[in-house]
Amino acid sequence: MKVAVVGATGLVGTLMLKVLEERNFPVTELIPVASEKSVGKTVVFKGAEYKITGMAEAVAMKPQLAIFSAGGGTSLEWAPKFAEAGTTVVDNSSAWRMDPDKKLIIPEINASVLTKNDKVIANPNCSTIQMLVVLAPLHKKYQIKRVVVSTYQSVTGTGVKAVNQMENERNNIEGEKAYPYRIDKNCIPQCDVFTDNGYTKEELKLTNETKKILDPAIDVTATAVRVPVTGGHSEAVNIEFEKDFEISEIRQLLSNAPGVNLQDYIQENIYPMPLFANGKDDVFVGRIRKDFSREKCLNLWIVADNLRKGAATNAVQIGEYLIKNGLV
């Protein structure tokens, strides 16, 4: 199994290599790929050093699988070239997510729709992934009508530059800024750029991707906020169902749901937090309670490591599914 990791030197790309190693992914030949300025440098995988190659060279090597985390522009240009060479691409950018001809996949929910003909497969947005891993089993039983979600998103979602900005601010160091405002000791109610309707692209991703993955009939409205933490994204989610429910049933459903870790023990002050989600692949859910202001409505709190399940791990899990089912 010849595997290319495109964007291998970035925050998510580096983690993809780590996740491939941790999960003992069947890599027989690794092709780390990055921008021209990184070509010739090395990365370490399973104790061995691998030289970084350029895009054209990697395409010519015809890997069976290429996992991309190199930005939308790069994906739009190069994913089709890999696909033409027979490579199956799993892309972590937003480039292909809403393309009607491309599948948008969370393995716990809809990997079964994949076929050998799917040569470019999209990884959903990090905030969408963690929310839908929890919502999917609930929708199956109670049919979700509407979701109101507020996200509290880690600076790691923006990248190394944002992490450096926060650390510099904490140490009173002047440096390069990823955000137009101070992030330490602050919350910025803007993730990604604003669109004409007043929502940011990040907020619209939660709406559009939920409809594509789970059900086009579900209404979703979102507010996405950047907060000065590392370790993971948090989400306060209010769900309105068609059918009524018991909290005990909800807990039972989620405790058995794939990829979900129930942390809902308020008597012991146990609930999900980025501090504990950091470095883990599960999606954590807690603070589960009925919304007493409306019928058939539920409140819960969801946390996951946005770089792992929200990006690298989900992409690797798609690769695992493809291999297990003979699709690559």
Q: Which of 109, 155, 138, 168 is nearest to 240 (CA)?
A: 138
Phi, psi for residue 33 in degrees, rounded to 5: -125, 140
Report residue 241 CA to chain centroid gap: 25
Compute the 3-state secondary structure of the chain and give helix, strand, coil in percent, each to the nearest 5. Answer: 35, 25, 40
Residue with tokens 């491309």: 102
Question: Catalytic residue among 139, 191, 233, 297, which?
Answer: 233
22 token code pair: 């941790």
- Per-residue buried b or exposed e for 96-132, using 16+ beta carbons within 10 Å of the residue's own CB: bbeeeebbbbbbbbbbeebeeebbbbbbbbbbbbbbb
State how beta strands 65-68 and 88-91 pair: parallel
Q: Report yes or no: 101 and 118 within 8 Å, Cβ to Cβ.
A: no
Q: Report yes or no: 201 and 193 within 8 Å, Cβ to Cβ.
A: yes
Q: Which of 180, 181, 182 is nearest to 172 (CA)?
A: 182
Side chain identity at residue 71, one-letter code: G
* 233 carries an active-site annotation: yes
Sheet holding 144-153, edge to edge: 219-226, 144-153, 233-241, 297-304, 283-290, 260-262
End-to-end CA distance of the chain: 9
159 token code pair: 């990248």
Catalytic residue list = 126, 233
